[in-house]
């Protein structure tokens, strides 16, 4: 096989590819960046924030061990894997083959929908990239520095690839966390495997045929969204490893005739800005723009839960005529439709993607916490009565997807109107959640599964990962957590 830019034989004849054809392609530019990615070129501020993003994700993963979806997923993967396995599953005291463990660990991070989000990319990048680099780094016995370098590379590329679509993937019904996450994981895996530029191009082309993620799950609260980031992580590792051994992938993975953006966006492809993917790459750090979730629900609902929470004391249980929630048009499909399911969630996942439920929970309890995911909470008659009063209307003035804002108006029976707007959601650029806040959130989540001493060990290992190893961190995370029954 020839190198990219040279004639290459494939079955059926010679395909001529010249340097001018290939070097300007997006996959070639990203491959060049991945090959030369070096942790010493990452500013200290970015590396510090990256370790805290990792810490946040792992705390959520520990909390997720308490839910039934974790046990049921592990049971299925355990059956597929058989008795073998050498990679720890977070908080379960069990090991699976690498790709199965990666899928499981990603599900634990994303399962409660409490993980970080890049606002303009509308993507949960950590939930796929971290399990991918942790799993592959552990297999390779890589250093913590190598793990962190690959993690930042995956984050920087996945967030930009998502942002270039201008929110289009959600509008068509694709979940960028699964779809785009596969490409960020592919580039991170390619770096860990030390692939050259040509093979890293191939790896991205291979990922094009295995990346996936449908949002049909939002129609009925199905669990499949939880699976997307793990599948993306496993796909990225698979694509990079196949490329390492000479498997040939398409050279124009993104902008080709049937590349990612044209094939998945259709007419919305015209609104894409692929220049965003490489603009400032290696100089401007999107990792710093990743938003930490202060609420365990879809990011599109946070402003409504917060606004309602702030109005809770002023409301104080007074009779309500109706509640109006002003929602960014680009978020309506995900968190307001279909209306009947948003008013009466039938499971925790539907509750997390419901503006009416978020408003009702915020009003009743002052904030939306993991307790809102218990069946007793989303089946509570008083909460459902409040949710039934919520009308979602589009707000064309919302600065979406730059911010996931929202506004709540409560019309009381006595004629008063209580209103609060959150144009910039907590955790977004402009309202950042600090590293210290992340540590508090980590302990809140981890304490649901492990004691303080073990949580301390995890925190220290993650924040000092540059002086540790991937394998040591994996073993620490795999220690059996206490188990409860939560649905």
Return the CATH number at 379. Answer: 3.30.1330.120
pLDDT tens-digit readout, 353-381 = 999 999 999 999 999 999 999 999 999 99
Last residue of a domain, one of 258, 292, 326: 292
**220 and 367 part of one domain:** no
> What pLDDT is recorded for position 83?
87
Last residue of a domain, one of 248, 268, 292: 292
**264 and 309 part of one domain:** no
In a domain, 243, yes or no: yes
Beta strand 390-394 with 320-327 is parallel
CB 249 within 8 A of CB 202: yes
**274 and 130 part of one domain:** yes
**105 and 68 part of one domain:** yes
The number of distinct structural domains making up the chain is 2
**129 and 261 part of one domain:** yes
| R_g of the chain computed on alpha carbons | 22
In a domain, 227, yes or no: yes
The span from the CA of 36 to the CA of 337, in Å, is 45
What stretch of H or E contains 171?
helix 168-172
SS3 per-residue string spanning 199-231: HHHHHHHHHHCCCCCEHHHHHCCCCHHHHHHHH
The span from the CA of 184 to the CA of 158, in Å, is 4
In a domain, 282, yes or no: yes
**235 and 100 part of one domain:** yes
**109 and 152 part of one domain:** yes
Residue 113 sits in a domain whose CATH number is 1.10.4100.10
Q: What's this model's pTM, rounded to 2 decimal places?
A: 0.87
Beta bridge partners of 420: 408
**283 and 343 part of one domain:** no
In a domain, 118, yes or no: yes
Please report, for residues 2, 167, 250, the alpha-carbon distance to residue 198 in angstroms, rounded to integers and kept in the order given.
9, 30, 11
Structural domain boundaries enclosing 386: 299-422
The span from the CA of 115 to the CA of 351, in Å, is 16
**61 and 140 part of one domain:** yes
Angle between helices 452-463 and 470-477 in degrees, nearest 10: 160
**164 and 287 part of one domain:** yes
DSSP alpha helix (H) spans, 111-164:
126-140, 144-163
Last residue of a domain, one of 363, 387, 422: 422
Task: Extract the residue ranges of the chain whose pLDDT is less than 50.
Answer: 1-20
In a domain, 427, yes or no: no
**258 and 339 part of one domain:** no
**107 and 227 part of one domain:** yes
Q: For residue 274, which phi and psi values (nearest 5 degrees)?
A: -70, -15
In a domain, 476, yes or no: no
In a domain, 485, yes or no: no
> What pLDDT is recorded for position 487?
55
SS3 per-residue string spanning 32-64: HHHHHCCHHHCCHHHHHHHHHHHHHHHHHHHHH
In a domain, 486, yes or no: no
């Amino acid at each position: 096989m020839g190198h990219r830019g040279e004639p290459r034989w494939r079955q059926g004849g010679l395909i001529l590819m010249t340097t001018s054809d290939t070097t300007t392609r997006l996959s070639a530019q990203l491959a060049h960046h991945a090959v030369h990615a070096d942790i010493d070129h990452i500013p200290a501020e970015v590396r510090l924030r990256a370790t805290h993003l990792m810490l946040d994700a792992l705390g959520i993963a520990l909390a997720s061990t308490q839910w039934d979806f974790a046990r049921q997923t592990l049971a299925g993967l355990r059956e597929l894997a058989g008795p073998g396995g050498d990679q720890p599953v977070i908080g379960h005291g069990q090991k699976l083959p690498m790709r199965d463990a990666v899928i499981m660990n990603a599900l634990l991070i994303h399962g409660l929908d409490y993980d970080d989000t890049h606002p303009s990319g509308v993507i949960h990048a950590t939930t796929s990239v971290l399990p991918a680099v942790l799993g592959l780094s552990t297999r390779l016995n890589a250093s913590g520095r190598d793990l962190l370098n690959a993690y930042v590379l995956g984050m920087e590329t996945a967030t930009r690839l998502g942002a270039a679509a201008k929110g289009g993937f959600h509008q068509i019904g694709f979940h960028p966390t699964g779809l785009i996450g596969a490409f960020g994981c592919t580039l991170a895996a390619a770096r860990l495997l030390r692939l050259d530029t040509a093979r890293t191009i191939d790896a991205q082309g291979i990922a094009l045929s295995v990346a996936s993620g449908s949002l049909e799950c939002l129609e009925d609260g199905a669990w499949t969204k939880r699976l997307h980031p793990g599948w993306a992580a496993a796909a990225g590792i698979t694509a990079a490893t196949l490329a390492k051994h000479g498997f040939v992938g398409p050279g124009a993975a993104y902008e080709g005739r049937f590349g990612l953006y044209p094939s998945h966006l259709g007419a919305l492809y015209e609104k894409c800005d692929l220049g965003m993917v490489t603009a400032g790459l290696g100089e401007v750090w999107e990792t710093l723009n990743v938003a930490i979730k202060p609420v365990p629900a879809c990011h599109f609902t946070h402003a409504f839960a917060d606004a309602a929470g702030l109005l809770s004391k002023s409301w104080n249980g007074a009779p309500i005529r109706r509640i109006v929630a002003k929602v960014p048009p680009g978020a309506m499909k995900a968190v307001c439709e279909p209306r009947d399911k948003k008013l009466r969630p039938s499971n925790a996942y539907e509750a997390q993607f419901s503006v009416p439920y978020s408003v009702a929970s915020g009003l009743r309890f002052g904030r939306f916490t993991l307790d809102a995911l218990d069946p007793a909470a989303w089946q509570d008659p008083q909460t459902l009565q409040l949710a039934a009063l919520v009308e979602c209307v589009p707000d064309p003035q919302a600065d979406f997807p730059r911010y996931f804002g929202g506004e709540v108006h409560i019309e009381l029976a006595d004629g008063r109107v209580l209103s609060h707007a959150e144009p910039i959601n907590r955790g977004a650029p402009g309202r950042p959640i600090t590293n210290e806040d992340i540590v508090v959130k980590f302990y809140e989540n981890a304490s649901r599964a492990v004691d303080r001493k073990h949580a301390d060990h995890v925190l220290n290992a993650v924040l000092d990962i540059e002086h540790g190893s991937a394998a040591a961190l994996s073993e620490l995370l795999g220690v059996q957590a206490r188990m409860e029954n939560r649905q």
